[in-house]
């Protein structure tokens, strides 16, 4: 697995590898606002996940997911973890937690 020193470096490199969509998560799915679609947990795969911590602020933590859909769409999801993590369904938590 590739190792990145920071979040922007990872995003830039993964974009060159085809992960061009920007995903966000909702309670029970991930969404792509730009193309107006939703993917429930059973319709996407997490290809890789990368954790990042800001050395100057240990509470500033995030995880970057490289995600592909069953239809071959590829994109990135950046999510906070720790005290800033948002609420999600148990199914979404299980899907994303596998790769922490």
Q: Nearest to residue 10, comparing CAs of 58, 59, 51?
A: 51
Instruction: State pTM to two decimals.
Output: 0.83
The whole-number pLDDT of residue 94 equals 77
Which neighbouring-strand residues pair with 38? 31
CB-based contacts of 25, cutoff 8 Å, min separation 6: 31, 77, 79, 86, 88, 92, 96
Highest mean pLDDT pick, 13-17, 52-56, 67-71, 95-99: 13-17
Listed by start position, the domains of the chain span 7-97
Question: Are the beta carbons of 44 and 67 closer than 8 angstroms?
Answer: yes
Query: For residue 17, what are its two tokens?
Result: 């590898």
The SS3 assignment for 16 reads: helix
Cα(19)–Cα(4) distance, integer angstroms: 16
Question: Are the beta carbons of 19 and 26 closer than 8 angstroms?
Answer: no
pLDDT band at residue 79, thresholds of 50, 70 and 90? confident
pLDDT tens digit sequence for 17-60: 999 999 998 888 999 998 899 999 999 999 999 988 866 665 56
């Amino acid at each position: 697995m590739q190792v990145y020193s920071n979040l922007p470096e990872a995003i830039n490199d993964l974009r060159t590898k085809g992960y061009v969509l920007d995903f966000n998560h909702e309670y029970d799915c991930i969404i792509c606002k730009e193309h107006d679609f939703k993917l429930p947990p059973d319709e996407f795969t997490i290809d890789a996940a990368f954790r990042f911590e800001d050395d100057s602020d240990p509470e500033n933590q995030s995880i970057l997911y490289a995600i592909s859909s069953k239809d071959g769409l590829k994109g990135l999801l950046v999510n906070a973890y720790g005290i800033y993590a948002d609420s999600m369904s148990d199914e979404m938590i299980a899907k994303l937690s596998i790769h922490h």
